[in-house]
């Protein structure tokens, strides 16, 4: 069975990224037994100017999107898409426009421990923001998520209190922008093929099958 690695460039406060994560999980489930899939979570910041204490979430989005009506339409669409695959968006409970740099640092450290833990942390961060409405820039929130996901809370607390890996995460975000990533989610398959946006599960599943098929054919050609 061929294995495919997917680097998911995303941001924790991006609703399409949360939706895209759920759709990717459905796609991976669909190809189980046909294609092995390894997922790495890569950082991106849609709103790098947000503060660590946060400012008003809804007011910021109204200003960004050009009006409350447009925002409400987008959020209604996202709620509908979410209901179809079991994702709950509670936008009214989100009060804080949070900076996600420290959340991405946490994801980086989780990735060092392994893909399973990193994926667990990614899910917990999305849920904290979009379902629980908590500030994902708050260190206590991040430490709590780390502990529940199997990381050492004391170690994470010390790392968050320092500047550890800030430059590394920012460099990775800049590298993504230099590659042409200007919107997320952005999926990179085996470092070669890119898929932009929260694509339907069937599209992602077919992409996985196609890439696995090409890898298998290339391998045969080398024999």
| Three-class secondary structure assignment of 147-159 | HHCCCCHHHHHHH
Q: What is the dihedral of CA 138, 151, 144, 168, to 10 degrees?
A: 10
At 112, is the pLDDT very low, low, confident or very high (cuts 50, 70, 90)? very high
Q: Is 33 exposed, middle or buried (0-12, 13-18, 19+ CB in 10 A)?
A: exposed
Residue 95 has a pLDDT of 94
pTM for the predicted model, two decimal places: 0.96
With 90 as the cut, is the pLDDT of residue 99 above it? yes
Going from N- to C-terminal start, the domains of the chain cover 3-222
Q: CA–CA separation, 206 vs 193, rounded Å?
A: 13
The CATH number of 3-222, from 3.40.50.11390, 3.40.50.300, 3.40.30.10, 2.40.50.140, is 3.40.30.10
* CA 86 centroid distance within chain: 17
Sorted by sequence, the CB contacts under 8 Å of residue 56 that are 6+ apart come out as 95, 96, 97
DSSP assignment letter at 94:
-
With 80 as the cut, is the pLDDT of residue 221 above it? no
Q: Got the DSSP string for 162-185?
A: TTTTHHHHHHHHHHHHHTT--SS-
96-97 and 55-56 strand pairing: antiparallel
């Amino acid at each position: 069975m061929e294995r495919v690695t997917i680097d998911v460039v995303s941001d924790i406060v991006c609703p399409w990224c949360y939706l895209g994560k759920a759709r990717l999980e459905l796609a991976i489930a669909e190809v189980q037994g046909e294609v092995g899939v390894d997922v790495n979570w890569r950082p991106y910041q849609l709103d790098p100017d947000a503060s660590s204490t946060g400012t008003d979430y809804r007011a910021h989005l109204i200003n960004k999107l050009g009006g409350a009506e447009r925002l409400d339409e987008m959020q209604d669409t996202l709620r509908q898409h979410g209901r179809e695959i079991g994702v709950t968006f509670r936008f009214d409970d989100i009060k804080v426009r949070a900076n996600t740099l420290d959340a991405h640092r946490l994801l980086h450290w989780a990735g060092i421990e392994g893909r399973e833990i990193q994926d667990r942390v990614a899910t917990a961060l999305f849920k904290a923001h979009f379902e629980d409405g908590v500030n994902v820039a708050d260190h206590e929130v991040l430490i709590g998520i780390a502990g529940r996901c199997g990381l050492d809370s004391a170690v994470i607390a010390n790392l968050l209190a320092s500047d550890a890996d800030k430059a590394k995460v920012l460099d990775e975000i800049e590298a993504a922008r230099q590659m042409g990533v200007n919107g997320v989610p952005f999926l990179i398959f085996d470092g070669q093929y890119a898929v932009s946006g929260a694509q339907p599960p069937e599209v992602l599943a077919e992409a996985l099958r196609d890439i696995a098929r090409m890898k298998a054919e290339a391998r045969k050609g080398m024999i």
